[in-house]
Amino acid sequence: MDSAAETQTPIQEAWALLGRLFWDMRPRMIRVAADVGLTPPQLFALRMLDPDEPVPMRALAAALSCDSSNVTGLVDGLEAQGLVERREAEHDRRIRLLVVTPRGNDVRERMLAVVQQVPEALQELGADDQRALRDILQRALG
Amino acid sequence: MDSAAETQTPIQEAWALLGRLFWDMRPRMIRVAADVGLTPPQLFALRMLDPDEPVPMRALAAALSCDSSNVTGLVDGLEAQGLVERREAEHDRRIRLLVVTPRGNDVRERMLAVVQQVPEALQELGADDQRALRDILQRALG
DNA sequence: TATTGTTATACTCTATAACTATA
DNA sequence: TATAGTTATAGAGTATAACAATA
How many angstroms from the chain centroid is the CA of residue A64?
Answer: 9
Q: How confident is the model at residue B54 (pLDDT cuts 50, 70, 90)?
A: very high
The answer to whether A14 contacts B139, with C-beta atoms less than 8 Å apart, is no
The predicted pLDDT at position A107 comes to 98
Q: Which nucleotides of D are covered by protein (CB under 7 A)?
A: 3-9, 12-18, 21-23
The per-residue pLDDT for range B9-28, each reduced to its tens digit, is 999 999 999 999 999 999 99
The predicted pLDDT at position B24 comes to 98
Residue A92 CB lies within 7 Å of the nucleic strand D: yes
Among the partner residues A15, A115, A138, nearest to B17 by beta-carbon distance:
A138
- Contacts (Cβ under 8 Å, ≥6 apart) of A108: A46, A47, A49, A51, A83, A100
The predicted pLDDT at position A6 comes to 77
Predicted confidence (pLDDT) at residue A112 exceeds the cutoff of 60: yes
Q: By the CB < 8 Å criterion, does A17 face chain B? A: yes
The predicted pLDDT at position B90 comes to 95
- A-chain CB neighbours of B61 within 8 Å are none
Q: Are A18 and B14 in contact (CB under 8 A)?
A: no
Nearest to A140 by CA among B89, B128, B50, B80: B128
Query: pTM here?
Result: 0.95
Nearest to B74 by CA among B42, B31, B106, B29: B42
Q: By the CB < 8 Å criterion, does A16 face chain B? A: yes
The predicted pLDDT at position B45 comes to 99
Beta bridge partners of A86: A98
Q: Give me the amino acid identity at A53.
A: E
Nearest to A42 by CA among A89, A94, A86, A80: A80
Sheet containing A96-100, strands listed edge to edge, beginning at the edge strand earlier in sequence:
A55-56, A96-100, A84-88
Q: Are B134 and A17 in contact (CB under 8 A)?
A: yes
Instruction: Give the distance, in angstroms, between residue A48 CA and nucleotide D23 C1'.
Output: 27
CB neighbours of residue A16 within 10 Å = 17
Q: How confident is the model at residue A2 (pLDDT cuts 50, 70, 90)?
A: low
